[in-house]
């Protein structure tokens, strides 16, 4: 049966490409995936799959019951895009100013739709149930996963699987982390409140830009002195906004970013040190501040037993191999699913010799080799075959 399913991927490939390109042209930001969700729900319903809409927001859950009893497995794809202006010159370029699929979620959605199309023809061969989970808002905390869980998306599911196309792994390769797969993330937004004035007389003002620069530098210095090198931590400043004129010292500056760790205790240490730095630097320069520091997604930890099994399952896909990679410092709200039930999050390579497939995620030139969707589909089909057929 699996060989037939894998062959059928070729037959649905053009449809997956068409779906993916439509989604790429019409991206929607986290918590705003209304049209994407409608499209997904309509396609699933068209294949006779039972559809539940508006799950935890714009989430879509499709249920395909096999003819015979057995376990229930969940397959998850995320649907949201990012606030990035696309710089690719491709026929399917984003038509929404300032928004693009710069992380591959369009391909995740199209791939899982292709899998649903194939499996909808084979209910009689299935010993159990497949739940297709199309999740909104992976890119923005608090995320769509936790909202879908609260709305019952995992009810009755025994195991869950998700994947991500990745531009740092060669096409045809998979990576299945055992244990830790992604980092936990903390988010911060800092407002520094100084005292504005004329650029010719800085001594009469409290410049929040100068203070902000000191805080950025001090945190990076802290990382080299206070972080255990055996416990990786990544602190990244992603916005720094202040001022409106060359000759005016502004009153306020706003800085935001993320801190990522695998170890919760290390995360709390960094948070404590960071807050001390902010307090002492602002006091030294005579400023005040407001800090919003919040916990984001927890570290994603794959179920060891199922990860070991999945490595074997994926290694048997013709033309593919499973490679060993360390955990990545990105974060993923798939972590909430595997806190509730056993599951595995794996990576599917999309990199080729074409430089257009090698840009990092969240880059305005990010794109994938669409043939990677064949591999993603075959991976999900192999999972279904292992648990619901063999």
CA distance linking residue 47 with residue 30, whole number of Å: 27
Greatest CA separation for the chain: 80
Rg (CA), the chain: 23
pLDDT band, residue 223 (cuts 50/70/90): confident
Mean pLDDT, range 82-89, rounded to an integer: 98
pLDDT band, residue 50 (cuts 50/70/90): very high
Domains of the chain, with CATH numbers? Answer: 2-183+299-388 (3.40.630.10), 185-295 (3.30.70.360)
- Res 264 pLDDT > 80: no
- Res 23 pLDDT > 80: yes
DSSP 114: H
CA distance linking residue 106 with residue 47, whole number of Å: 20
Residue 337, both tokens: 């699913």
Neighbours of 245 (CB within 10 A): 8
Mean pLDDT, range 347-357, rounded to an integer: 97
pLDDT band, residue 226 (cuts 50/70/90): confident
Mean pLDDT, range 226-231, rounded to an integer: 81
C-beta pairs of 271-278 under 8 Å, 24+ apart in sequence: 271/186, 273/222, 273/226, 274/188, 274/219, 274/222, 274/235, 277/215, 277/218, 277/219, 277/222, 278/190, 278/215
Mean pLDDT, range 233-239, rounded to an integer: 93
- Residue 220 is labelled as binding a ligand: no
pLDDT tens for 168-220 read 999 999 999 999 999 999 999 999 999 999 999 999 999 999 999 999 999 99
pLDDT tens for 310-323 read 999 999 999 999 99
Active-site residues: which are they? Answer: 80, 138
- Residue 105 is labelled as binding a ligand: yes
- Residue 362 is labelled as binding a ligand: yes
């Amino acid at each position: 049966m699996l060989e037939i399913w894998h062959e059928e991927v070729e037959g649905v490939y053009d449809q997956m490409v068409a779906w993916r390109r439509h989604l790429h042209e019409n991206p929607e930001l986290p918590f705003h995936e209304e049209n994407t969700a409608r499209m997904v729900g309509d396609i699933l319903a068209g294949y006779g799959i039972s559809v539940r809409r508006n799950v935890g927001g714009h989430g879509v859950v499709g249920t395909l019951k096999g003819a015979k009893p057995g376990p229930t497995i969940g397959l998850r794809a995320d649907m949201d895009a990012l606030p990035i202006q696309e710089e690719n010159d491709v026929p399917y370029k984003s038509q929404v100013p300032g928004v693009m699929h710069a992380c591959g979620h369009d391909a995740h959605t199209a791939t899982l739709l292709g899998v649903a199309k194939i499996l909808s023809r084979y209910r009689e061969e299935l010993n159990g149930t497949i739940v297709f989970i199309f999740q909104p808002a992976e890119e923005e905390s608090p995320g769509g996963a936790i909202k879908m869980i609260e709305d019952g998306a995992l009810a009755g599911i025994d195991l869950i699987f998700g994947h991500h196309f990745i531009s740092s792994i060669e096409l045809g390769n998979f990576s299945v982390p055992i244990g830790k797969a992604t980092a936990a993330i903390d988010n911060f937004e800092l407002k520094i409140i100084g005292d504005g004035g004329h650029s010719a007389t800085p001594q009469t003002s409290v410049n929040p830009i100068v203070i902000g620069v000191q805080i950025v530098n001090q945190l990076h210095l802290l990382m080299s002195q206070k972080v255990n090198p055996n416990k990786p931590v990544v602190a990244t400043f992603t916005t720094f906004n202040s001022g409106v004129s060359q000759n005016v010292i502004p009153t306020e500056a706003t800085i935001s970013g993320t801190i990522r760790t695998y170890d919760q205790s290390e995360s709390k240490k960094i948070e404590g040190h960071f807050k001390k730095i902010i307090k002492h630097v602002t006091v030294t320069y005579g400023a005040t501040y407001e800090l919003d520091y919040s916990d984001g997604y927890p570290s994603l930890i794959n179920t060891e037993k199922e990860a070991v099994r999945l490595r074997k399952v994926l290694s048997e896909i013709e033309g593919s191999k499973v490679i060993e990679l360390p955990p990545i410092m990105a974060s993923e709200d798939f972590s909430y699913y595997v806190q509730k039930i056993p599951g595995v999050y794996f990576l599917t390579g999309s990199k080729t010799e074409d430089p257009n497939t090698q840009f990092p995620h969240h880059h305005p030139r990010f794109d994938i080799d669409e043939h990677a969707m064949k591999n993603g589909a075959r991976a999900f089909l192999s999972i279904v075959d292992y648990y619901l057929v063999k």
